[in-house]
Chains A and B, each alone.
Chain A
Amino acid sequence: MDQDFHIEEQAGSSPPVITVSGEIDVATAPQLRECLHGVIAQGEATVVLDLLGVTFLDSTALGVLVGALKRCRELGGELHVVVADPRIVKIFEITGLTSVFTIADSLESAGAA
């Protein structure tokens, strides 16, 4: 059911960039949680999460992002979210998370170029 979901960490980038595509929902969010927590556990306080290829995102995905943001901030860092699809941006807006996350519309503006 999650054949459209893909996640990978771009090697050698600083800050680390995690790129996700497809649908992030209750079935796939645990993979995102594991990846984010793994990167942060390596001591990376700031992470760029590239959601440009994401076509659907639900509350479980947002819950994972909020948890990762807390971990980043405990280390003095930040979770930068890159999102451009208006449907995905809308979900951040209606949950008030645009004021919680640092949101950019391109990798360049997220400082990941």
Chain B
Amino acid sequence: MTETADRLENGDRIELKFPARGDLIVLARLVTSAISARAGFDIEELEDLRLAVGELCLLTLQGSDAQQGDLRLELSVLGDAIGVDCTLERAGMATAPAPDGDEVARLSEQILDALVDAHGREVHDGSVHAWLRKHRGGHAE
């Protein structure tokens, strides 16, 4: 495989779906590293994205009883940017708050604010969706 063949181009999209368990979020981080490298992000940006996607998954899971749910991650190459959309499917609301839950959510928001160009979180019909966008070379939208 040539270096050119390893590259991802504008419009390429990768999906990952796994049981919404905290110990599996490492899979989202691993895939993000691989995709970011192939989309031309440098090592520092790649590390930022790896951390940011982990936080995105945590924000998606926040307040949910994800024992029965799935986490679907969609990574898209958008020109010189990468977009990551994370959706929690088929999960109900948690019956008990997670330890340090509010503090962790606040920290997640701070980390995302610092590392990506834009991010958000929405709830529609019981499905939680969080997303982020990050440009190469620190170019803001």
Mark A residues whose CB is within 8 Å of B.
1-2, 23, 25-27, 30, 33, 56, 58-60, 62-64, 66-67, 87, 91, 94-96
Contacts and interface: CB of A to CB of B under 8 A. Distances in A.
A58 B26 contact: no
B103 to A, nearest CB: 5
Interface string B68-112: 000000000000000000000000000000011001110110110
Contacts of B104: 59-60, 62-63
Given A59-B55, A62-B107, A63-B100, A94 B115 contact: yes
Interface residues of B, number: 23
Contacts of B25: 25-27
Contacts of B111: 58-59, 91, 94-95
Contacts of B58: 26, 58-60
Nearest to A87: B47
Contacts of A23: 26
